[in-house]
Amino acid sequence: MSAIRHMSKRVDQDPFFLAWALRVYAESEAMGDPELASFLGGESDGLPALRLCRRPSSASPAFREELRAIAGRFGLKSEALAEVLRRGEALESLRAAEGEGLLMAARDRPEPDEGES
């Protein structure tokens, strides 16, 4: 295994890297590397280096510029890459909310008293 491929697998749990967003997106769509690369408009052999890029934040004023730079460098469709990044951010927000207890399942609500409806 090449050093880049090895390192890209090691950083896929770190939201700082694109590896994290790519993993989250691929898992949510049940995609392997060939399907992910095809969705992005690139080649599977370019994914390890792509994964090592810093993940741009959609809240950043430079988001579009950074997105275009990464897409251009790797020959990807910028719209597809933006979808991957935004899905990752949305799932990250949901997981953070769950961790803070903001999402409560209906079954976790207290039962109403018999006299209440």
Contact assessment for residue 81 and residue 70, using Cβ atoms and an 8 Å cutoff: yes
| Full residue range of the structural domain in which residue 77 is found | 3-108
C-alpha–C-alpha distance, residues 95 and 103, integer Å:
9
Q: What is the pTM of this model?
A: 0.78
In-domain check, residue 23: yes
25-72 pLDDT, tens digit per residue, is: 999 999 999 999 999 999 999 999 999 999 998 889 999 999 999 999
Q: Does residue 17 sit in helix, strand or coil?
A: strand
The number of folded domains in the chain is 1
- Would 113 be classed as within a structural domain? no
Residue 50 lies in a domain: yes
